[in-house]
Structure 1
Amino acid sequence: MDKQILDLLTEINKGMKSMQSDIHSLKSEMHNRFDTIETKLEGVGGQFELTNESGINEMDFIVDKVNKMEKELYILKNKNSN
């Protein structure tokens, strides 16, 4: 009977070690997946930042040009009225 208990405990120990190994593998796999997802999300975020930045730069350029045109029109208008 002691031999049967010892064999049973040995099998349980092997099963637990196998389960620990499986859990460790799963943990590593999930960590890698989350790193991959995080990297992809950072890339997408970076694309949005670049898009917004170029839009802001273009908007500043356009606003500046419109302001200059308004100034030139004002000057021309005042020259013609004098």
Structure 2
Amino acid sequence: MDKEILDLLTEMNKEMKSMKSEMHSRFDTIETKLEGVGSQFELTNESSINEMDFIVDKVNKMEKELYSLKNKYNN
């Protein structure tokens, strides 16, 4: 009887270690996916900022040009 209990406990211990290893593997996979999503968000955000700077610069140049043209034709 004691041998059967010891064998059962040994088998349970092996299964728990296997499950623990499998969980770590799954968490590693999830963590990798989250890091990838975070990186994509940063790149998207960075490109949006660059596009916004570009647009603001173009609008400012157009305003200067319009101001110059307006003053040129009003004088």
Aligned residue number for residue 38 of structure 2: 45
Task: State the AA in 1 paired with 2:64.
Answer: K
Give the TM-score taking structure 1 as reference length: 0.87
Aligned residue number for residue 58 of structure 1: 51
Give CA deviations for 1:28-67 in whole Å, capped at 9, x if unaligned. 0010001001101110121111111101100110111101
Give the TM-score taking structure 2 as reference length: 0.94
Question: How many residues are paired up?
Answer: 75
RMSD: 0.8
Q: Which runs of 5+ in 1 are unaligned?
A: 1-7
Report the identity percentage: 72
Aligned residue number for residue 31 of structure 1: 24
Report whether the alignment pairs 1:14 with 2:7: yes
Aligned residue number for residue 66 of structure 2: 73
List structure 1 segments (4+ residues) > 6 angstroms apart after TM superposition: none
Larger radius of gyration: 1
